[in-house]
Structure 1
């Protein structure tokens, strides 16, 4: 769909383009009934409210299983079997599951803080489809980590049944380092973007779009999207061998790439003087 929008937009039905594009690069022209199914962009924070509540449930399950050594409640086993089929074998250890889940929870909780206390949203809209996909993404990602973990799938002699810090290897350590670099820098870029609409006292004075400069913005138009991709790449390293997670990483990579490209092209068409060396998504490459 991204390729179709990028190269064949003028040949596509308006309703498809209108559904796909949102925010500052939303479709301009005669709009169809789908306009009635748009919600404020500020509702992005609902993604993280729902994800935070669900992440607490998942954290309870792994603590209950790996720390307190209690069985998985039957209702959750039943739900997991429906979602992913009962024919599952463990692909990650208890330690890997706990590590990945904690990191993803840290990402979700920080993003909730950002969307509530840092970000300044414009009055643009997003399609209701984007809204529900955003909510389902985090629920799916959190569930994916748990359902292939030792004890939540069939038991395997390959993995230990409990959490042990000694099970953390070099690949996991590399993943953690990449994660926290991206985690911290994504927050910094969010602050820079928010400050474009605030005065020195932190009061919101404008909702207009301005050109961000400095820090990672000297290299990329959307460093926050690059950092999002790195966060999921880091989790992919930690969850190496996981069946579902590579697809989640691919989804995030493509989704963030397309949004970054649209963002980059919008910046270049809006601001006549734009840094020529600045890339859209991948430093020095794309």
Structure 2
């Protein structure tokens, strides 16, 4: 069955990219993550592959060569995945650059700053919106056919919207000059 293994490949790329960003791009402050939020993330990332593998061993009608199994959903889902991944990487780079000295390229401070430009003109947390689109791409590749994957996607939507709302509220409270028309996660809406 091509679909589950293609989704696992996409998730592996996502995990590798996020690891690489954490090691080579992000500049973390001294803030700490909520333990429940951390453990939830570990749980989701740990169980995601297992839930997809259950699809791979389930009886399926797909037969023939891989080329015969590739559908429009695979292509559209992978395209969405690539665009959302690239955009998320760009927003993480923008956030990291806020802590760099423009002349030396070295870390100048670990303070929080107001991000500007591109998607940050419209929302406080475009990287969270991209995360939603990344998980949407997994479901799209699967034609929204996996109940477990759909629940994971729903969890990601709720989790990212709540986190974006909390961050947006913090930005508005912390920075008096924060753009008033900027939304939390969905441009022009929320």
Q: TM-score, normalised by structure 1?
A: 0.63
Q: Which residue of 2 aligns with 1:221?
A: 124
| 1:170 positional shift | 1.1
Distance of 1:249 and 1:104 partners within structure 2: 13
Are the equivalent residues in 2 in contact too, given 1:182–1:228 (CA < 8 A)? Answer: yes
The verdict on how the C-alpha distance between 1:166 and 1:224 changes in structure 2, with shifts beyond 3 A counting, is same
Distance of 2:65 and 2:19 partners within structure 1: 28
The verdict on how the C-alpha distance between 1:208 and 1:100 changes in structure 2, with shifts beyond 3 A counting, is same
| 1:276 positional shift | 2.5
Are the equivalent residues in 2 in contact too, given 1:95–1:163 (CA < 8 A)? Answer: no
Which of 212, 223, 230 is matched with 2:133 structurally?
230
Output aligned runs, 1:45-84, within 5 Å. none
The verdict on how the C-alpha distance between 1:147 and 1:266 changes in structure 2, with shifts beyond 3 A counting, is same
| 1:187 positional shift | 0.2
Are the equivalent residues in 2 in contact too, given 1:192–1:212 (CA < 8 A)? Answer: yes
Are 1:96 and 2:11 an aligned pair? Answer: no
In structure 1, stretches of 5+ residues that fail to align are 1-93
- Map Cα deviations across residues 122-169 of structure 1 (whole Å, 9 max, x no partner): 1112233322222111111111111112xx23x34x222x76033111
Distance of 1:111 and 1:163 partners within structure 2: 32
| 1:222 positional shift | 0.2
Are 1:273 and 2:177 an aligned pair? Answer: yes
| 1:256 positional shift | 0.3
Which of 15, 21, 26 is matched with 1:114 structurally?
21
Query: RMSD in angstroms over aligned alpha carbons?
Result: 1.4
* Partner SS for 1:244: helix
| 1:243 positional shift | 2.1
Q: Which residue of 1 aligns with 2:161?
A: 257
Distance of 1:198 and 1:256 partners within structure 2: 26
The verdict on how the C-alpha distance between 1:98 and 1:163 changes in structure 2, with shifts beyond 3 A counting, is farther
The verdict on how the C-alpha distance between 1:163 and 1:247 changes in structure 2, with shifts beyond 3 A counting, is farther
Are 1:167 and 2:74 an aligned pair? Answer: no
Rg comparison, structure with higher value: 1
Which of 156, 162, 187 is matched with 1:283 structurally?
187
Q: Runs of 4 or more off by more than 4 Å in structure 1? A: none
In structure 2, stretches of 5+ residues that fail to align are none
Q: Which residue of 2 aligns with 1:190?
A: 92
* Partner SS for 2:140: helix
Distance of 1:234 and 1:118 partners within structure 2: 24
Output aligned runs, 1:7-156, within 5 Å. 94-149=1-56, 152-153=57-58, 155-156=59-60
| 1:220 positional shift | 0.8
